[in-house]
Homo-oligomer: A and B are copies of this chain.
């Protein structure tokens, strides 16, 4: 863990500005693009399947976020996912709304099978992905899916399916955040409740992981970094502001500011049961 902390501290500033291709929901397009820019990456927000083969020649990583699904978005995600598998493009799949409709379940499963580097979702989405029951309604995570026993079950289930998903890193976000890869797991417990009260925090975590994959970071380290960086940024933002919109703005602001001082990483809280 100590070595990983040293790695995490040294990630920012990025040594180059990678091209991060995002196929993502149109609710938070601007916020996701700015998150990547504030970290030092260059976002390309193209969902036009006609452009994929030429874009893939210069992009460094790919984000596939299935929020606000529709037929056109589904086609873009599906084709890019196949192309990423063929070209071994580092890829993050964000299973937004997995299991709440047949379309999302089918698409999410198809993208998961295309060997993405990281598969993420909130705890309820990942529970549904591994076949555990979930009490969540809508696209948000249910708190009942986040108790310690529920997380233990989730980690166990993820470790069982990693035989089918060798090396893929699974990220389940919630009050506590879980990362699983093959037979290892990690629980992180930073963050504030207010992160669930504006739209796009999950999208931002996906964008941060993708930006780090785009500069060649290890996905296990990149996932730890992304979750912790957003959570610590939120802790700081909450202490500086009053009111949700000011908090939201300051979280984005801290995406830029926090990493200027490596000491942010000393705030990371690892958790055990």
A residues neighboring B (CB under 8 Å):
19, 26-31, 33-34, 37-38, 42-48, 50-51, 54-55, 58, 68-72, 100-104, 137-140, 197-200, 242-246, 248-250, 252-257
Give chain B nearest CB distance to A201 CB in angstroms.
11
**A253: chain B residues within 8 A (beta carbon):** 243-246
- Cα distance A243–B262 in the bound complex, in angstroms: 16
**A55: chain B residues within 8 A (beta carbon):** 100-101
CB atoms of B100 and A198 under 8 A apart? no
Determine which of B51, B199, B256 lies in contact with A243 in the assembled complex, contact meaning CB atoms within 8 Å. Answer: B256
Determine which of B68, B197, B199 lies in contact with A46 in the assembled complex, contact meaning CB atoms within 8 Å. Answer: B68
**A243: chain B residues within 8 A (beta carbon):** 253-254, 256-257
Query: Assuming A37-B199, A50-B103, A103-B50, is B245 touching A252 (CB within 8 A)?
Result: yes
How many copies make up the complex?
3
The list of the 7 closest CB pairs from A to B, nearest first, reads A243-B253, A245-B253, A245-B252, A244-B256, A33-B199, A48-B70, A51-B101
CB atoms of A255 and B249 under 8 A apart? no
**A242: chain B residues within 8 A (beta carbon):** 257
**A47: chain B residues within 8 A (beta carbon):** 68, 70
CB atoms of A34 and B137 under 8 A apart? no
CB atoms of A27 and B27 under 8 A apart? no
Known: A38-B244, A51-B69; 7 extra A-B contacts, CB below 8 A, are A19-B137, A37-B197, A42-B138, A48-B70, A51-B103, A243-B253, A243-B254
Task: Identify 20 residue pairs between A and B in the complex whose beta-carbon atoms are under 8 Å apart, listed by A's number.
Answer: A26-B29, A27-B30, A27-B33, A33-B199, A37-B199, A38-B197, A38-B198, A42-B140, A43-B199, A45-B68, A46-B68, A47-B68, A50-B101, A54-B101, A55-B100, A55-B101, A58-B138, A70-B72, A244-B253, A245-B253
